[in-house]
Amino acid sequence: MTQIIVIFELDHQAIMIRTQRLILHPATVSLLTAALANPQALAEALSCSIIAPLSEFGRAPFEYALNKLRFDASEQQWWGYFPVEISANVLIGTCGYKGQPDEEGVVEIGYEVILDKRKQGFGREIAAGLIQHAWSDPRVTRVIAHTLTGSNPSSRILQSCGMQFVRELIDTEDGPICQWAMDRPVS
């Protein structure tokens, strides 16, 4: 079960995604600003607990998304989300897209789950929620993701969501990676 909920912040709308056990809060300008200030500011803004560092990737993804949204707030739904476990009311990681659909209708998803919450199905739930949300935009024809090479939890998560291995690539920062994809389901 994935629900798409439209919320409003200042003069633009944001999309909240609700899955069975999670609420994916859109990383709005105010939430990204709080995240960059300190974890307590983000916890207060989300009204939840934070039990681990926000991201293994540091501040850079939050700074990048914030700059994108300050430039064009209409891209709100195509950047970050903060997944909060409903029952524990705790932030369990970060997730989102790497921008709006390109000219061919392709969007890329990414996600990370904090160590204490791994191996509980949250990665799959986040990926499935992001994929389902992507299909709500008629421009999206394909959803892609990238993982490290070899069998790993992320590749198994993507396969369980219906994504297929496409090819191996060389990333300038990460070295060899695998690309996964899923085309829009036929109605």
Helix 122-135 with 153-160: angle, nearest 10 deg: 50
Banded model confidence at residue 56, pLDDT cuts 50, 70, 90: confident
Q: What pLDDT, in 10s, does the model give residues 68-83?
A: 988 887 788 899 999 9
Can you give the pLDDT at residue 74?
78
Q: Yes or no: say if 14 and 29 are a contact pair by the CB < 8 Å rule.
A: no
Q: What pLDDT, in 10s, does the model give residues 130-140?
A: 999 999 999 99
Domains and CATH numbers, the chain: 3-144 (3.40.630.30)
